[in-house]
Structure 1
Amino acid sequence: MAPDLTLHGFFNSSASFRVRIALELKGLAWRHAGVDLRKGDQDAPEFRQLNPNGLVPALEIEGRRLTQSLAIIDLLDRLAPEPRLLPTDGVHREQVLEIACLIAADIHPLDNLRVLKYLTSTLAVTDAQKRAWYAHWIHEGFRALERLLPDHDGWCVGPSPTLADCCLVPQVANASRMAVDLDAYPRIRRIAQYCNSHPAFQRAAPSAQPDYVAA
Protein backbone atom coordinates (compact mmCIF):
# COMPACT_ATOMS: atom_id res chain seq x y z
CA MET A 1 0.00 0.00 0.00
CA ALA A 2 1.37 3.40 -0.99
CA PRO A 3 2.21 5.73 1.93
CA ASP A 4 0.14 8.85 2.55
CA LEU A 5 2.53 11.73 1.86
CA THR A 6 2.01 15.48 2.29
CA LEU A 7 4.90 17.80 1.48
CA HIS A 8 4.88 21.24 3.09
CA GLY A 9 7.09 23.44 0.96
CA PHE A 10 7.56 26.59 -1.08
CA PHE A 11 7.91 26.58 -4.85
CA ASN A 12 11.21 28.52 -4.85
CA SER A 13 12.76 26.70 -1.92
CA SER A 14 15.83 24.72 -3.02
CA ALA A 15 15.34 22.20 -0.24
CA SER A 16 11.67 21.66 -1.15
CA PHE A 17 12.67 21.32 -4.81
CA ARG A 18 15.14 18.54 -3.89
CA VAL A 19 12.42 16.51 -2.23
CA ARG A 20 9.94 17.09 -5.08
CA ILE A 21 12.51 15.73 -7.54
CA ALA A 22 13.00 12.63 -5.38
CA LEU A 23 9.25 12.06 -5.07
CA GLU A 24 8.77 12.39 -8.82
CA LEU A 25 11.73 10.17 -9.69
CA LYS A 26 10.28 7.45 -7.49
CA GLY A 27 6.76 7.90 -8.87
CA LEU A 28 5.26 8.40 -5.41
CA ALA A 29 1.91 10.13 -5.06
CA TRP A 30 2.04 13.16 -2.78
CA ARG A 31 -0.01 16.18 -1.75
CA HIS A 32 1.29 19.72 -1.91
CA ALA A 33 0.84 22.03 1.09
CA GLY A 34 2.15 25.50 0.32
CA VAL A 35 4.13 27.48 2.91
CA ASP A 36 4.63 31.02 1.60
CA LEU A 37 8.03 32.02 2.93
CA ARG A 38 7.65 35.53 1.53
CA LYS A 39 4.52 36.11 3.61
CA GLY A 40 5.97 34.52 6.75
CA ASP A 41 3.78 31.38 6.82
CA GLN A 42 6.75 29.51 8.30
CA ASP A 43 6.37 31.51 11.52
CA ALA A 44 2.71 30.64 12.07
CA PRO A 45 2.18 28.67 15.30
CA GLU A 46 0.58 25.73 13.47
CA PHE A 47 3.58 25.38 11.17
CA ARG A 48 6.03 25.74 14.07
CA GLN A 49 4.21 22.79 15.63
CA LEU A 50 5.03 20.82 12.50
CA ASN A 51 8.60 22.09 12.21
CA PRO A 52 9.99 23.97 15.23
CA ASN A 53 12.85 25.28 13.07
CA GLY A 54 10.38 27.16 10.86
CA LEU A 55 11.88 25.91 7.62
CA VAL A 56 10.72 23.92 4.62
CA PRO A 57 10.33 21.20 3.61
CA ALA A 58 8.40 19.19 6.14
CA LEU A 59 6.97 15.82 5.17
CA GLU A 60 3.94 14.31 6.85
CA ILE A 61 3.80 10.54 6.46
CA GLU A 62 1.29 8.22 8.11
CA GLY A 63 0.69 10.47 11.11
CA ARG A 64 4.30 11.45 11.73
CA ARG A 65 6.52 14.17 10.31
CA LEU A 66 10.09 14.56 9.14
CA THR A 67 12.08 17.67 8.28
CA GLN A 68 15.44 18.27 6.53
CA SER A 69 15.54 17.47 2.82
CA LEU A 70 18.39 14.96 2.93
CA ALA A 71 16.77 13.02 5.76
CA ILE A 72 13.47 12.99 3.86
CA ILE A 73 15.14 11.70 0.68
CA ASP A 74 16.88 8.98 2.70
CA LEU A 75 13.45 7.93 3.98
CA LEU A 76 12.05 7.92 0.43
CA ASP A 77 14.91 5.64 -0.62
CA ARG A 78 13.68 3.10 1.93
CA LEU A 79 10.02 3.51 1.00
CA ALA A 80 10.65 3.15 -2.73
CA PRO A 81 14.13 1.76 -3.41
CA GLU A 82 14.08 2.38 -7.18
CA PRO A 83 15.71 4.43 -8.49
CA ARG A 84 18.23 4.33 -5.69
CA LEU A 85 19.15 7.95 -4.93
CA LEU A 86 21.85 7.18 -2.39
CA PRO A 87 23.84 4.34 -3.99
CA THR A 88 24.88 1.27 -2.02
CA ASP A 89 28.11 1.00 -4.02
CA GLY A 90 30.91 2.43 -1.88
CA VAL A 91 32.67 4.74 -4.33
CA HIS A 92 29.48 6.08 -5.93
CA ARG A 93 27.89 6.54 -2.50
CA GLU A 94 30.85 8.60 -1.30
CA GLN A 95 30.84 10.74 -4.45
CA VAL A 96 27.09 11.39 -4.19
CA LEU A 97 27.33 12.38 -0.53
CA GLU A 98 30.32 14.63 -1.22
CA ILE A 99 28.43 16.56 -3.91
CA ALA A 100 25.14 16.66 -2.01
CA CYS A 101 26.77 17.93 1.19
CA LEU A 102 28.83 20.53 -0.65
CA ILE A 103 25.60 21.99 -2.02
CA ALA A 104 23.24 21.44 0.92
CA ALA A 105 25.67 22.23 3.73
CA ASP A 106 28.26 24.61 2.27
CA ILE A 107 26.47 26.65 -0.43
CA HIS A 108 22.75 26.70 0.28
CA PRO A 109 22.73 27.83 3.96
CA LEU A 110 24.68 31.00 3.16
CA ASP A 111 22.24 32.04 0.44
CA ASN A 112 19.03 30.91 2.12
CA LEU A 113 16.07 33.31 2.11
CA ARG A 114 16.24 33.86 5.88
CA VAL A 115 19.91 34.85 5.59
CA LEU A 116 19.18 37.27 2.76
CA LYS A 117 16.30 38.76 4.75
CA TYR A 118 18.58 39.22 7.77
CA LEU A 119 21.13 40.99 5.60
CA THR A 120 18.59 43.50 4.35
CA SER A 121 16.24 43.92 7.31
CA THR A 122 18.67 43.76 10.23
CA LEU A 123 22.06 44.67 8.78
CA ALA A 124 20.54 47.13 6.29
CA VAL A 125 22.67 46.07 3.34
CA THR A 126 21.63 47.39 -0.06
CA ASP A 127 20.09 45.21 -2.73
CA ALA A 128 23.34 45.39 -4.68
CA GLN A 129 25.30 44.23 -1.62
CA LYS A 130 22.85 41.40 -1.02
CA ARG A 131 23.26 40.20 -4.61
CA ALA A 132 27.04 40.47 -4.31
CA TRP A 133 26.88 38.30 -1.16
CA TYR A 134 24.72 35.75 -2.95
CA ALA A 135 26.98 35.59 -6.01
CA HIS A 136 30.15 35.38 -3.91
CA TRP A 137 29.04 32.21 -2.13
CA ILE A 138 27.69 30.63 -5.31
CA HIS A 139 31.05 31.14 -6.98
CA GLU A 140 32.96 29.87 -3.95
CA GLY A 141 30.94 26.65 -3.96
CA PHE A 142 30.57 26.18 -7.72
CA ARG A 143 34.32 26.46 -8.32
CA ALA A 144 34.76 23.39 -6.12
CA LEU A 145 31.66 21.63 -7.44
CA GLU A 146 32.79 22.02 -11.06
CA ARG A 147 35.94 20.03 -10.29
CA LEU A 148 33.96 17.17 -8.73
CA LEU A 149 31.70 16.61 -11.74
CA PRO A 150 32.29 14.64 -14.94
CA ASP A 151 32.51 16.54 -18.22
CA HIS A 152 29.52 15.03 -20.00
CA ASP A 153 25.83 15.25 -20.77
CA GLY A 154 24.65 12.91 -18.04
CA TRP A 155 24.04 12.49 -14.33
CA CYS A 156 26.36 13.75 -11.61
CA VAL A 157 27.47 10.26 -10.56
CA GLY A 158 26.98 6.97 -12.34
CA PRO A 159 24.36 5.84 -14.85
CA SER A 160 21.18 7.02 -13.08
CA PRO A 161 19.87 10.01 -11.11
CA THR A 162 20.99 10.31 -7.51
CA LEU A 163 20.76 12.59 -4.50
CA ALA A 164 23.55 14.65 -6.09
CA ASP A 165 21.31 15.56 -9.04
CA CYS A 166 18.42 16.30 -6.66
CA CYS A 167 20.66 18.88 -4.98
CA LEU A 168 22.42 20.30 -8.03
CA VAL A 169 19.41 21.28 -10.15
CA PRO A 170 17.66 23.45 -7.50
CA GLN A 171 20.89 25.26 -6.68
CA VAL A 172 21.51 26.03 -10.35
CA ALA A 173 17.90 27.18 -10.74
CA ASN A 174 18.17 29.59 -7.82
CA ALA A 175 21.55 30.92 -8.97
CA SER A 176 20.08 31.56 -12.42
CA ARG A 177 17.04 33.26 -10.89
CA MET A 178 19.40 35.58 -9.01
CA ALA A 179 21.20 36.36 -12.29
CA VAL A 180 24.53 34.85 -11.25
CA ASP A 181 26.81 34.39 -14.27
CA LEU A 182 27.46 30.64 -14.59
CA ASP A 183 29.56 30.73 -17.76
CA ALA A 184 32.62 29.53 -15.85
CA TYR A 185 30.92 26.25 -14.93
CA PRO A 186 30.26 24.26 -18.13
CA ARG A 187 30.08 20.90 -16.35
CA ILE A 188 27.48 22.16 -13.89
CA ARG A 189 25.42 23.70 -16.67
CA ARG A 190 25.57 20.63 -18.93
CA ILE A 191 24.54 18.23 -16.17
CA ALA A 192 21.73 20.54 -15.01
CA GLN A 193 20.46 20.79 -18.58
CA TYR A 194 20.58 17.00 -18.92
CA CYS A 195 18.65 16.53 -15.67
CA ASN A 196 16.04 19.08 -16.70
CA SER A 197 15.27 17.09 -19.84
CA HIS A 198 13.89 14.32 -17.59
CA PRO A 199 10.10 14.44 -16.97
CA ALA A 200 10.50 13.98 -13.20
CA PHE A 201 12.65 17.10 -12.94
CA GLN A 202 10.15 19.00 -15.10
CA ARG A 203 7.22 17.98 -12.88
CA ALA A 204 9.20 19.04 -9.79
CA ALA A 205 10.18 22.45 -11.19
CA PRO A 206 9.03 25.60 -9.35
CA SER A 207 6.89 26.75 -12.28
CA ALA A 208 4.95 23.45 -12.18
CA GLN A 209 3.85 23.90 -8.54
CA PRO A 210 0.37 25.11 -7.53
CA ASP A 211 1.82 27.91 -5.37
CA TYR A 212 4.04 29.24 -8.16
CA VAL A 213 4.02 33.01 -8.65
CA ALA A 214 6.05 34.56 -11.46
CA ALA A 215 8.64 37.05 -10.21
Structure 2
Amino acid sequence: MTTPILHDFWRSSASYRVRIGLNLKGVAYTSHAVSLPAGEQKSPDYRALNPQGFVPMLEIDGHRLTQSLAILDYLDATHKEPPFVAHDPAERSHILAMALVVACDIHPLNNLRVLKYLGGPLGQPEAVRDDWYRHWVVEGLAALEAMAARSAGQWLNGDGVSLADICLIPQMYNARRFDVALDAYPTLVRVDAAAQNHSAFAAAHPDNQEQPA
Protein backbone atom coordinates (compact mmCIF):
# COMPACT_ATOMS: atom_id res chain seq x y z
CA MET A 1 0.00 0.00 0.00
CA THR A 2 1.32 3.42 -0.96
CA THR A 3 1.97 5.77 1.92
CA PRO A 4 -0.27 8.85 1.75
CA ILE A 5 1.41 12.13 0.82
CA LEU A 6 0.32 15.38 2.43
CA HIS A 7 1.22 18.49 0.47
CA ASP A 8 1.31 21.18 3.13
CA PHE A 9 2.96 24.27 4.55
CA TRP A 10 4.19 24.26 8.13
CA ARG A 11 2.21 27.30 9.25
CA SER A 12 -0.93 26.79 7.14
CA SER A 13 -3.82 26.39 9.56
CA ALA A 14 -5.77 24.28 7.05
CA SER A 15 -2.77 21.96 6.72
CA TYR A 16 -2.44 21.93 10.52
CA ARG A 17 -6.03 20.67 10.75
CA VAL A 18 -5.32 17.78 8.39
CA ARG A 19 -2.13 16.84 10.22
CA ILE A 20 -4.15 16.63 13.43
CA GLY A 21 -6.80 14.49 11.71
CA LEU A 22 -4.26 12.09 10.23
CA ASN A 23 -2.56 11.71 13.59
CA LEU A 24 -5.85 11.12 15.43
CA LYS A 25 -6.83 8.41 12.96
CA GLY A 26 -3.39 6.82 13.16
CA VAL A 27 -2.72 7.26 9.43
CA ALA A 28 0.99 7.32 8.66
CA TYR A 29 1.93 9.75 5.90
CA THR A 30 4.83 11.58 4.33
CA SER A 31 4.89 15.34 4.01
CA HIS A 32 5.75 17.34 0.90
CA ALA A 33 6.40 20.92 1.90
CA VAL A 34 4.91 23.59 -0.38
CA SER A 35 6.23 27.09 0.33
CA LEU A 36 3.34 29.53 0.26
CA PRO A 37 5.51 32.67 0.63
CA ALA A 38 7.57 31.52 -2.36
CA GLY A 39 4.41 30.89 -4.39
CA GLU A 40 5.13 27.20 -4.98
CA GLN A 41 1.41 26.45 -4.69
CA LYS A 42 0.85 28.42 -7.91
CA SER A 43 3.49 26.57 -9.93
CA PRO A 44 2.33 24.69 -13.05
CA ASP A 45 3.46 21.37 -11.55
CA TYR A 46 1.43 21.84 -8.39
CA ARG A 47 -1.59 23.23 -10.20
CA ALA A 48 -1.55 20.13 -12.37
CA LEU A 49 -2.21 18.18 -9.19
CA ASN A 50 -4.51 20.71 -7.52
CA PRO A 51 -6.04 23.26 -9.93
CA GLN A 52 -7.04 25.56 -7.07
CA GLY A 53 -3.41 25.96 -6.06
CA PHE A 54 -4.04 25.66 -2.32
CA VAL A 55 -2.69 23.54 0.50
CA PRO A 56 -3.38 21.07 1.90
CA MET A 57 -3.75 18.32 -0.66
CA LEU A 58 -3.73 14.68 0.40
CA GLU A 59 -2.82 11.89 -1.97
CA ILE A 60 -4.39 8.77 -0.47
CA ASP A 61 -5.99 5.56 -1.74
CA GLY A 62 -5.44 6.64 -5.34
CA HIS A 63 -7.21 9.97 -4.77
CA ARG A 64 -6.05 13.58 -4.67
CA LEU A 65 -8.14 15.21 -1.99
CA THR A 66 -8.34 18.96 -1.44
CA GLN A 67 -10.00 21.34 1.03
CA SER A 68 -9.21 20.54 4.67
CA LEU A 69 -12.76 19.80 5.85
CA ALA A 70 -13.39 17.56 2.84
CA ILE A 71 -10.17 15.69 3.60
CA LEU A 72 -11.15 15.30 7.24
CA ASP A 73 -14.58 14.04 6.17
CA TYR A 74 -12.89 11.40 3.97
CA LEU A 75 -10.66 10.31 6.85
CA ASP A 76 -13.68 10.07 9.14
CA ALA A 77 -15.55 7.95 6.59
CA THR A 78 -12.65 5.57 5.99
CA HIS A 79 -11.23 5.33 9.52
CA LYS A 80 -13.99 5.05 12.08
CA GLU A 81 -12.10 5.74 15.30
CA PRO A 82 -12.08 8.21 16.82
CA PRO A 83 -15.17 9.76 15.19
CA PHE A 84 -14.88 13.45 14.32
CA VAL A 85 -18.64 14.12 14.50
CA ALA A 86 -21.49 12.67 16.53
CA HIS A 87 -24.17 10.31 15.22
CA ASP A 88 -26.99 12.25 16.90
CA PRO A 89 -28.21 14.80 14.31
CA ALA A 90 -28.48 17.75 16.69
CA GLU A 91 -25.10 17.07 18.29
CA ARG A 92 -23.54 16.58 14.86
CA SER A 93 -24.96 19.92 13.73
CA HIS A 94 -23.57 21.65 16.82
CA ILE A 95 -20.07 20.24 16.21
CA LEU A 96 -20.18 21.27 12.57
CA ALA A 97 -21.39 24.76 13.47
CA MET A 98 -18.48 25.27 15.86
CA ALA A 99 -16.00 23.96 13.29
CA LEU A 100 -17.42 26.23 10.61
CA VAL A 101 -17.09 29.34 12.78
CA VAL A 102 -13.35 28.86 12.32
CA ALA A 103 -13.21 27.30 8.86
CA CYS A 104 -15.75 29.59 7.17
CA ASP A 105 -16.05 32.76 9.23
CA ILE A 106 -12.55 33.45 10.61
CA HIS A 107 -9.99 31.71 8.44
CA PRO A 108 -11.05 32.76 4.90
CA LEU A 109 -10.88 36.44 5.85
CA ASN A 110 -7.40 36.08 7.31
CA ASN A 111 -5.53 33.68 5.08
CA LEU A 112 -2.34 34.60 3.27
CA ARG A 113 -3.86 35.55 -0.08
CA VAL A 114 -6.31 37.98 1.57
CA LEU A 115 -3.55 39.60 3.62
CA LYS A 116 -1.37 39.89 0.50
CA TYR A 117 -4.24 41.54 -1.38
CA LEU A 118 -4.77 44.01 1.45
CA GLY A 119 -1.08 44.87 1.45
CA GLY A 120 -0.59 44.83 -2.33
CA PRO A 121 -3.40 46.11 -4.57
CA LEU A 122 -5.21 47.83 -1.69
CA GLY A 123 -2.02 49.33 -0.28
CA GLN A 124 -2.82 48.80 3.39
CA PRO A 125 0.13 49.01 5.82
CA GLU A 126 1.05 46.13 8.12
CA ALA A 127 -0.58 47.74 11.17
CA VAL A 128 -3.92 47.92 9.35
CA ARG A 129 -3.60 44.34 8.13
CA ASP A 130 -2.87 43.16 11.66
CA ASP A 131 -5.90 45.03 13.01
CA TRP A 132 -8.01 43.43 10.27
CA TYR A 133 -6.75 40.01 11.30
CA ARG A 134 -7.41 40.52 15.00
CA HIS A 135 -10.89 41.94 14.39
CA TRP A 136 -12.15 38.78 12.67
CA VAL A 137 -10.43 36.48 15.15
CA VAL A 138 -12.00 38.24 18.12
CA GLU A 139 -15.45 38.25 16.52
CA GLY A 140 -15.26 34.54 15.75
CA LEU A 141 -13.74 33.39 19.03
CA ALA A 142 -16.33 35.33 21.03
CA ALA A 143 -19.11 33.49 19.21
CA LEU A 144 -17.36 30.15 19.58
CA GLU A 145 -16.83 30.65 23.32
CA ALA A 146 -20.56 31.22 23.74
CA MET A 147 -21.48 28.24 21.55
CA ALA A 148 -19.15 25.92 23.44
CA ALA A 149 -20.54 26.93 26.84
CA ARG A 150 -23.44 24.47 26.57
CA SER A 151 -21.43 21.48 25.37
CA ALA A 152 -17.83 21.67 26.53
CA GLY A 153 -16.18 19.08 28.72
CA GLN A 154 -12.50 18.39 28.29
CA TRP A 155 -13.06 19.34 24.64
CA LEU A 156 -15.51 21.65 22.88
CA ASN A 157 -18.14 18.92 22.74
CA GLY A 158 -17.91 16.79 25.84
CA ASP A 159 -14.87 14.66 26.60
CA GLY A 160 -14.11 13.39 23.10
CA VAL A 161 -12.10 15.16 20.42
CA SER A 162 -14.25 16.39 17.54
CA LEU A 163 -13.96 18.29 14.30
CA ALA A 164 -14.57 21.48 16.26
CA ASP A 165 -11.37 20.97 18.26
CA ILE A 166 -9.41 20.11 15.13
CA CYS A 167 -10.42 23.49 13.70
CA LEU A 168 -9.99 25.44 16.93
CA ILE A 169 -6.40 24.56 17.82
CA PRO A 170 -4.73 25.97 14.66
CA GLN A 171 -6.80 29.14 15.06
CA MET A 172 -5.60 29.55 18.65
CA TYR A 173 -2.03 29.24 17.40
CA ASN A 174 -2.69 31.99 14.86
CA ALA A 175 -4.41 34.17 17.45
CA ARG A 176 -1.28 34.10 19.59
CA ARG A 177 0.91 34.88 16.56
CA PHE A 178 -1.06 38.09 16.08
CA ASP A 179 -1.14 38.97 19.80
CA VAL A 180 -4.88 38.49 20.26
CA ALA A 181 -5.81 38.71 23.95
CA LEU A 182 -7.46 35.43 24.92
CA ASP A 183 -8.60 36.11 28.50
CA ALA A 184 -12.22 36.47 27.38
CA TYR A 185 -12.29 32.87 26.08
CA PRO A 186 -11.58 30.61 29.09
CA THR A 187 -13.25 27.56 27.53
CA LEU A 188 -11.22 27.85 24.35
CA VAL A 189 -8.00 28.41 26.29
CA ARG A 190 -8.69 25.34 28.43
CA VAL A 191 -9.35 23.16 25.39
CA ASP A 192 -6.21 24.49 23.73
CA ALA A 193 -4.19 23.59 26.82
CA ALA A 194 -5.57 20.05 26.71
CA ALA A 195 -4.54 19.76 23.08
CA GLN A 196 -0.95 20.70 23.85
CA ASN A 197 -0.75 17.58 26.02
CA HIS A 198 -2.30 15.30 23.38
CA SER A 199 0.20 13.51 21.17
CA ALA A 200 -1.82 13.85 17.95
CA PHE A 201 -2.09 17.61 18.34
CA ALA A 202 1.48 18.06 19.55
CA ALA A 203 2.94 16.16 16.59
CA ALA A 204 0.92 18.34 14.19
CA HIS A 205 2.11 21.64 15.72
CA PRO A 206 3.85 23.96 13.25
CA ASP A 207 7.02 23.98 15.35
CA ASN A 208 7.35 20.25 14.71
CA GLN A 209 7.14 20.52 10.91
CA GLU A 210 9.71 21.05 8.19
CA GLN A 211 10.25 24.77 7.81
CA PRO A 212 11.78 26.70 4.89
CA ALA A 213 15.48 27.44 5.18
Query: Closer, same or farther in 2 for the Cα pair 1:79/1:3, shift >3 Å?
Result: farther
One-letter amino acid of the counterpart of residue 202, structure 1: A
Q: Structure 2 matches for 1:96-175, cutoff 5 A?
A: 96-150=95-149, 154-175=154-175
Q: Does 1:57 align with 2:80?
A: no
The Cα of 1:91 is off from its aligned counterpart by 2.7
Deviations along 1:116-159, whole A, 9 cap, x unmatched? 01111111101100000001111111111110113866111122
What's the counterpart of residue 15 of structure 1? 14
1:50-102 Cα distance to aligned partner (Å, 9 max, x none): 11111110111133201000000010012211000122222321111010111
Match for residue 181 of structure 2?
181
SS in 2 for 1:33: strand
CA distance in 1, matches of 2:9, 2:185: 27
49-58 or 145-154: bigger deviation:
145-154
TM-score by length of 1: 0.94
Q: How far apart are the structure 2 equivalents of 1:55 and 1:181?
A: 29
Q: TM-score, normalised by structure 2?
A: 0.95
Q: Which ranges in structure 1 are unaligned for 5 or more consecutive residues?
A: none
In the comparison of the two structures, how many residue pairs are matched?
A: 212
1:198 aligned partner: 198
- In structure 2, runs of 5+ residues without a counterpart are none
Instruction: Tell me the amino acid that sits aligned with residue 195 of structure 2.
Output: C
Runs (4+) of structure 1 moved beyond 4 Å? Answer: none
Residues 6-29 of structure 1, C-alpha deviation per residue, up to 9 Å, x if partnerless?
110111101000000000011110
